[in-house]
Copies of this chain bind each other. A is one copy, B any other.
Amino acid sequence: MYIRQDILDAVAAKKMPEDRTFGKAVLPAICVAQYKNGQWSEVELGFDRDHRLSGGSTAVQYAQSIFEGMKAYFVHQVTPQIFRPYDHAVRFRRSAERMCMPPVPREMFVYGVNLLSRLYADVIPREADGALYLRPSLYGTDYSLSIEPSESYQFTIHAAPTIPFSKDMKSVLIERRNSRSAVGGTGGVKAAGNYAAGFQSLTRARQLGCATSLWLDPLESKYIEELSLMNFFVVREGELHTPTLQNSFLPGITRQSLLTLAEDLGLRIAERRIDINELIKEIETGSVTEAFSCGTAAVVSPIRSLKEASGTEYVFSDEPGPITRTLRKQLLDIQEGRTADRFGWMQSV
């Protein structure tokens, strides 16, 4: 494919950014396509600054906007490889449908993430835990104050080289006051609106020394759903447990991959409703010994404790547990190309 010279120049001039804190060093060239009159344009490379949108667009005014988060790895591989791009494409389509937006064809989505990963191959951190974080998004661009779905849309893919979050053990705030998603709301898809709605809880969590919040079900505020940006697992008497999927929280691709891996490793697994108050008792009696969060950004991240808003703390353990460590290692071994990809998850770009 032909790539504009100014984009090649910008990419060539691009040094590995200094600040590789998650998501901060967004690269200037993006993939972009436009939807107008019922049709998608080709995916092109462009500069973010040339594809800005109005504050009066349906994206900004009504949050008609969705995104995905995925990673291209280039550690032990000979070319960059993306983790489960087709599964992200499928979830992107489901998100688009929920928000009344035209789906982005799967091939177009995968073509875009491949193109950008190839373009930026030289700035993908090749150390362990490094990756190119890819952020496909789709949003309404109609400039109209009447509150209804847009007729025009923009599909963009932004990218940022990244090394993961710190590996310190985290505490998590039990969010007993607010729910993240209504029944029949948008919690089951990656809608923009789900995220800023959680900032208030994030602020409260940080004030209590917690990294994030644990959300409970919208009807009884009793059953665990997920963390603000990650899914949730615990280990009880050697068995791996995670909440059964509900349409009020996100079906994580990392979550699903870990269930597959765990089964393959011969671990006993259970998807079930997890009552927060029972879980607290089980932490106290010592039958639950490990907990971790999982998602594209942090992969697998051990949780030290749960905290109530009152400050009361329930500690799982002070060190990452054996099952947490095994699952993290096994998944990263596949993602970073140290072991065979026996599930067909990695796609070369």
| Interface residues of A, Cβ cutoff 8 Å to B | 21-24, 26, 30, 48-49, 51-56, 58-65, 67, 69, 98-100, 133, 135, 137, 139-140, 143-149, 154, 156, 158, 160, 177-186, 191-197, 199-200, 202-203, 218-219, 221, 228-229
- Closest residue on chain B to residue A175 by CB atoms: B184
- Closest residue on chain B to residue A184 by CB atoms: B178
The answer to whether A53 touches B55, judged by C-beta atoms less than 8 angstroms apart, is: yes
Selected contact of A144 from candidates B26, B62, B146, CB within 8 Å: B26
The answer to whether B62 touches A51, judged by C-beta atoms less than 8 angstroms apart, is: no
The answer to whether B64 touches A196, judged by C-beta atoms less than 8 angstroms apart, is: yes
Q: Which residues of B lie under 8 Å from residue A199 when comparing CB positions?
A: 62, 64, 99-100, 148-149
Q: Which residues of B lie under 8 Å from residue A178 when comparing CB positions?
A: 182-185
A185 touching B197 in the complex, CB below 8 Å, given contacts A23-B146, A26-B144, A67-B61: yes
Q: Which residues of B lie under 8 Å from residue A148 when comparing CB positions?
A: 199, 202
The answer to whether B182 touches A218, judged by C-beta atoms less than 8 angstroms apart, is: yes
Selected contact of A193 from candidates B98, B158, B197, B218, CB within 8 Å: B197
Of A64, A147, A177, A218, chain B has the most CB atoms within 10 Å of the CB of: A147
A and B contact pairs by CB, cutoff 8 A, 11 listed? A22-B146, A26-B144, A30-B55, A55-B158, A62-B195, A63-B63, A100-B199, A181-B182, A182-B218, A183-B221, A193-B197
A63 touching B192 in the complex, CB below 8 Å, given contacts A48-B56, A54-B48, A145-B23: yes
Further pairs besides A55-B59, A63-B63, A178-B183: 14, Cβ < 8 Å:
A23-B147, A48-B55, A55-B154, A59-B59, A59-B60, A61-B65, A61-B135, A61-B195, A62-B195, A64-B196, A99-B200, A100-B196, A149-B196, A149-B202
Selected contact of A24 from candidates B24, B144, B179, CB within 8 Å: B144
Q: Give bound CA distance, A195 to B183, whole Å.
A: 16
Selected contact of A60 from candidates B60, B146, B185, CB within 8 Å: B60
Of A154, A218, A221, chain B has the most CB atoms within 10 Å of the CB of: A218
- Closest residue on chain B to residue A203 by CB atoms: B100
The answer to whether B183 touches A191, judged by C-beta atoms less than 8 angstroms apart, is: no
Of A49, A65, A69, A143, chain B has the most CB atoms within 10 Å of the CB of: A65
The answer to whether A48 touches B184, judged by C-beta atoms less than 8 angstroms apart, is: no
Selected contact of A192 from candidates B21, B149, B185, B193, CB within 8 Å: B193
- Closest residue on chain B to residue A55 by CB atoms: B156
The answer to whether A53 touches B52, judged by C-beta atoms less than 8 angstroms apart, is: yes
